Amino acid sequence: MEGLYRVVYEETEISGMEGTTTHFKIYPDEKRMILLRMGSTDARMEFENRKKHVCLYDTPYGVLEIAITTNDLKIDVSDNGGKIRIDYEMSVSGQKPVRTILSIDIRPQ
């Protein structure tokens, strides 16, 4: 699919999600990114400028409903790697939202 970049990596015990594979589907033209986790933790989290998405986050300890509101999503990627910066608010099961800024640096192998 044109305009789509994919990043895949295996989580380690450092992240607390050992046994989970994380996939990023990056759509620079649409200013949208999907984070998929499969394994010991399962989730599909969508980040899209100025939009709210709700997902289920399935962990070994139970399932959580997470609401994500993306305040700003900056995508600067190419075949040579790049950077993504996501400014978002996340609330778990209706709790008070917590603002988070996630910066991702992508380098080809």
Averaged pLDDT, groups of 10, the chain, 109 residues long: 83 84 93 93 94 93 95 94 96 94 91
* C-alpha–C-alpha distance, residues 54 and 90, integer Å: 10
What pLDDT, on the 0 to 100 scale, is given for residue 2?
60
Listed by start position, the domains of the chain span 5-106
pTM value is: 0.86
Which CATH superfamily groups domain 5-106?
Calycin beta-barrel core domain (2.40.128.20)
89 neighbors 99 (Cβ within 8 angstroms): yes
* C-alpha–C-alpha distance, residues 22 and 52, integer Å: 21
What pLDDT, on the 0 to 100 scale, is given for residue 88?
98
